[in-house]
Amino acid sequence: MRWLLSFLLLALLGAVQALSSSGSRLLVVIEELEEKEKYSQFWGDLKSRGFSLSFESPKNDKLSLFKHGERAYDHLILFPPKSKGLGPNLTPQILLDFINRDGNILLTLSGNSPTPAAISSLLLELDIHLPPDRNALVVDHFNFDSNSAAEKHDVLVLPPPQDLRPGVKNFCSVGGSIAVPRAVGQVLGNESPLLVPILRAPATAYSYNPKDEAEAVEEPFAVGQQLSLVSALQARNSARFTVLGSVEMLQDQWFNAKVETAGKETTTANREFAKQLSSWTFKELGVLKVGKLQHYLTEDGKKFNTSSLSVPEQNPRIYRIKNDVAFTIELSEYVEDHLQPFLPPADDDLQLEFTMLSPFHRLALKPISTTENATVFATSFTLPDQHGIFNFRVNYKRPFMTNVDEKRQVTVRHIAHDEWPRSWEISGAWVWIGGVWVTVLGWLAFVGVWLYCEPMDRKAGVKKTQ
């Protein structure tokens, strides 16, 4: 119900101005406020999408991400500080706490200024590794912009990112190529399923410290596709944390700049990329919302219940084994400023699990209808022949989409004593029922005969003694 209410409010607000699904308060932490002029187009884009921007210097003592124990901002952009660190108000712990409380962070790095230790330790905590050399850059001797970096080869020109794998939506596939000047490459750990690379370096790129040539060539930090220029972490609470390897990408000068690589001159799509990237990070894209979730008996023949949306969930808490049940769930996807029906990509399926310790059923949920802003997925099945406490679980976790993990606990009970078929309905029992009645009637007949038979000789009868 609260879901629905907030959703309604959100829709109302959305009508007034376009806005992220999780609030519009955006804090930009930038050390030198004059610097921000370089990014005016980016700010303009953000403002036009409804964000209210506040700029703060990390040196400001009063800067705090929390107020009265609640988040003071919904989103955070961190610019690489010129000084050693971000100060006591933005320690890794505080930043992690911000994520844990559903705040989104866009962290930018730059090859020009060394990354502070606090930031790299935060990244290490998230299993994102930065090169040990603080001045390391990503260079590529094949995909560089010959206009601006003919010598240093440190301005990469890349095609838009490919799909991560089939069945995953790609929000950053902008039309043109992307210029990545002086980027800090990141290496993503292999363990965490929450990490995804958004923009990977080309196969010929490597991380290189321009100040210390000899060693870097000996043993580069990372090479090729292993280097990620833009990577993202979506926490379990769906808070988003994006690491942008090159802050210069967002500067006006690289928005629609002319670049030349391998003799071909193109216009960069950095503006579009920045828009998509910030939209994704600040939850304007790839946000899934669960609407009404229902499960019910289908014993009476009707397959799916298509009653009106306003009915709140009135799901039964208890079923019986081998009941026929149906399950429906409404999913919508938030796109920029509104909710629209969600459909999984072609190679993907939304699945329902019916689990107790392990899944007893894992069924594909098929879209059966669409409402104005949601798709109704449904399936129906027969409950397993096992009593216990089960969960209807929809566990849909995909890269770039917020996590959907809906559980509804139900009890599946055994068959009650009066739910079994009656004995005469079982043909195999007829023999025994017959036997019972033959015995009963036989005994009655015997008693009758006994009572109506006169004893032949009273004297011959032996008196019963004890």
Partner 1 sequence: MAVAVGDQFLQGTTGRNTRGMLRVIILCTIAAAAVSSRLFSVIRFESIIHEFDPWFNFRATKYLVQHGFYSFWDWFDDRTWHPLGRVTGGTLYPGLMVTSGVIYHILRLLALPVDIRNICVLLAPGFSGLTALATYLFTSEMSDSPSAGLLAAAFMGITPGYISRSVAGSYDNEAIAIFLLVFTFYLWIKSLKNGSAMWGALTALFYGYMVSAWGGYVFITNLLPLHAFVLICMGRYSPRLYVSYTTWYALGTLASMQVPFVGFLPIRSSDHMAALGVFGLLQLVAFVEFIRYQLPSKQFQTLLRSLVLLIFVVAFGGLVLLTVSGTIAPWSGRFYSLWDTGYAKIHIPIIASVSEHQPTAWPAFFFDLNMLIWLFPAGVYMCFRSLKDEQVFIVIYAVLASYFAGVMVRLMLTLTPIVCVAAAMALSQILDTYLVAKSPSPQVQANGSAETVKNTASSMLPESLRSTRSPLVGIYSYTSKLTIVGSVTAYLLLFVLHCTWVTSNAYSSPSVVLASRSPDGSQHIIDDYREAYYWLRQNTPQDAKIMSWWDYGYQIGGMADRPTLVDNNTWNNTHIATVGKAMSSREEVSYPIMRQHEVDYVLIVFGGLLGYSGDDINKFLWMVRIAEGIWPEEVKERDFFTPRGEYRIDDQATPTMRNSLMYKMSYYNYNSLFPAGQAQDRVRGARLPAEGPQLSTIEEAFTSENWIIRIYKVKDLDNVGRDHASAMAFEKGNKKKRPSKRKGPRVLRVE
Q: Which of 47, 59, 84, 236 binds partner 1 (CB under 8 A)?
A: 236
Contact criterion met (CB below 8 Å) for 397 and 403? yes
Q: Are the C-beta atoms of 156 and 111 separated by less than 8 Å?
A: no
423 binds partner 1 (CB under 8 A): no
Q: Is 189 in the site for partner 1 (CB under 8 A)?
A: yes
* Residue 298 near residue 306 (C-beta atoms within 8 A): no
For residues 36-95, which are near partner 1 according to CB under 8 A? 92-93
Task: Select from 107-115, 135-143, 283-291, 407-415 the region that touches partner 1 (CB under 8 A).
Answer: 407-415
Is 205 a binding residue for partner 1 by CB under 8 A? The answer is no
Nearer to partner 1, 212 or 405 (CB): 405
Q: Which CB sits closer to partner 1, 82 or 387?
A: 387
CA 237 to centroid of chain Cα atoms? 8
CA distance 95 to 82: 19
Structural tokens at position 279: 């939209």
Cβ–Cβ < 8 Å for 246, 137: no
Q: State the helix-helix crossing angle for 270-281 and 40-48, rounded to 10 degrees.
A: 50
Question: What is the CB-side half-sphere exposure of residue 148 using CA atoms within 13 A?
Answer: 18
Site for partner 1 contains 202 (CB under 8 A): no
Name the DSSP letter for residue 20: -
- Stretch binding partner 1 (CB under 8 A), from 125-133, 135-143, 336-344, 369-377: 125-133
Cβ distance to partner 1 smaller for residue 96 or 290: 96
Residues 6+ apart with CB under 8 A from 190: none
Residue 125 interacts with partner 1 (CB under 8 A): yes or no: yes
Dist. CA 270–CA 265, nearest whole Å: 15
26 lies in the site for partner 1, by CB under 8 A? no
Helix (H, G, I), strand (E, B) or coil at 111: coil
Nearer to partner 1, 47 or 236 (CB): 236
Going by their DSSP bridges, the two strands 75-78 and 25-29 should be labelled as: parallel
> Using CB under 8 A, which of the segments 10-18, 277-285, 363-371, 383-391 binds partner 1?
383-391
CA atoms within a 13 Å half-sphere pointing along the CA-CB vector of 347: 7
- Which of residues 345 and 388 has its CB atom nearest to partner 1 in the complex? 388
Paired residues of 287 in beta bridges:
334
Among 10, 18, 53, 235, binds partner 1 (CB under 8 A): 235
Q: What's the token pair of residue 278?
A: 């910030």
Strand partners, 227: 187
Q: Which of 36, 387, 397, 408 binds partner 1 (CB under 8 A)?
A: 387
Q: Please pick, from the candidates 69, 193, 455, 461, the single residue that binds partner 1 as defined by CB under 8 A.
A: 193
Piece in contact with partner 1 (CB under 8 A), picked from 210-218, 253-261, 337-345, 384-392:
384-392
Interaction of residue 211 with partner 1, rule CB under 8 A: no
Distance CA 222, CA 190 (A): 14
Considering beta carbons, is residue 60 or 386 the nearer one to partner 1? 386
Binding residues for partner 1, per CB under 8 A?
92-93, 96, 99-100, 121, 124-127, 132, 164-165, 187-197, 226, 233, 235-237, 239, 241, 318, 356-357, 387-390, 409, 411-414, 416-418, 466
